[in-house]
Amino acid sequence: MTYILGSMLAFAFLRLSLFFLDQNFAMYFDDVALTMVLGGTLAVGIISAPWQCWGYFVTSLKGVLFGLQRAERRFIEEALVFVRNPQAYRKDKPKTIADEIYLDGKELLELQFTPEDIQTILGERLHQLVNKRDMVSAFFLNLAKYPPAFGLVGTVLGLVNLMRAITEGLDPAQTGVKMALALVATLYGLLFANFIISPFAEALEKQVDKERFQGEIAMQAVLLCAEGVDLLKSQEMLNSFLPKRKRVNILDDAISEEMSA
């Protein structure tokens, strides 16, 4: 949601700037510039995209736009519920790294793996899950450098066309207009890179960091369950992931009711 709000705010200030200039968006439209920037960026994206991680593209998009992670305190409460009764954990379609860690951990517990083996296996799976998401965020970070380059190409095309028109006897009154339109391609490239792609990549990196953090909590919950640690000690261990003001107390009615359900 923050990505959407930030994009709306950026668009609003852009519109306000045009208002102060007594201009509108139609004055900045150029089909050649738009085709060059969007087409070039799309082509590079198709070439360089990590298609082996295609499934994470949609998940990443949903995560950045709508958010998939739970609040920190709520997540610790869910971890304690898992420690209390891992067999009751149900998640047919895992959406986050933590969901997958819980499902894999539940399976390993049922197979009676040792805590050391569980830690090794889940640690590697956590690493691989995070790595795949990092590949997606790195793709968008790298993609952000291309729109300005294609915008410059569009500007060069526009200037070449302008010089040709001047040679053929272009009306001097139209020279400034055509030059302005030629520069629009550079503007498109800068806006597309810095208003859309780069903020999305940064938001995606933050989401991956949060998913990694929650995955570590989920793995710790599975290990506590495997080691047979009692609920109170598990609470104190899991609370280590939170600031003091957000820590969970298993005596809270809300948690007690959920655990007894």
Look at residue 251 in the predicted model and tell me its pLDDT: 62
Question: Which residue ranges make up each domain of the chain?
Answer: 29-260
Residue 253 pLDDT class (50, 70, 90 cuts) = very low
Looking at residue 227, its pLDDT comes to 92
Better-predicted residue by pLDDT, 220 or 62? 220
Angle between helices 72-84 and 253-260 (to 10 degrees): 40
Least confident of 111-125, 166-180, 247-261: 247-261
Mean pLDDT of 18-36: 88
Distances (CA, A) of 246 to 89, 153, 210, 240: 24, 52, 16, 10
Q: How many CB atoms lie within 10 A of CB 192?
A: 21
- How far is CA 227 from its chain centroid? 34
Over the stretch 31-51, which tens digit does the pLDDT of each residue have? Answer: 889 999 999 999 999 999 888
Question: How many other C-beta atoms can be found within 10 angstroms of the C-beta atom of residue 104?
Answer: 20
- Across the chain, mean pLDDT equals 86
- Identify the residue whose tokens are 């207009």: 177
Q: pLDDT tens digits, residue range 93-148?
A: 777 889 999 999 999 999 999 999 999 999 999 999 999 889 988 999 999 999 99
| Greater model confidence, 116 or 242 | 116
Task: Report pLDDT for 151.
Answer: 94
Confidence of residue 256 (pLDDT cuts 50, 70, 90): low
15 or 57: which carries more pLDDT confidence?
Answer: 15
Q: Is the dihedral of CA 123, 103, 139, 186 positive or negative?
A: negative
Q: Is the pLDDT of residue 4 over 90?
A: no
- Whether the per-residue pLDDT at 162 is higher than 80: the answer is yes
How far is the C-alpha of 51 from the C-alpha of 253, rounded, in Å?
47
What does the pLDDT read at residue 190? Answer: 94
Does residue 185 contact residue 83 with C-beta atoms inside 8 Å? Answer: no
Confidence of residue 6 (pLDDT cuts 50, 70, 90): confident
**In the predicted structure, residue 3 carries a pLDDT above the cut 50:** yes
Amino acid 146: pLDDT: 96
Q: How confident is the model at residue 69 (pLDDT cuts 50, 70, 90)?
A: low
Of 33-47, 53-67, 69-83, 228-242, the range with the highest mean pLDDT is: 33-47
Has residue 261 got a pLDDT over 60? no
- pLDDT computed for residue 255 by the predictor: 52
Phi, psi of 29 (to 5 degrees): -90, 130
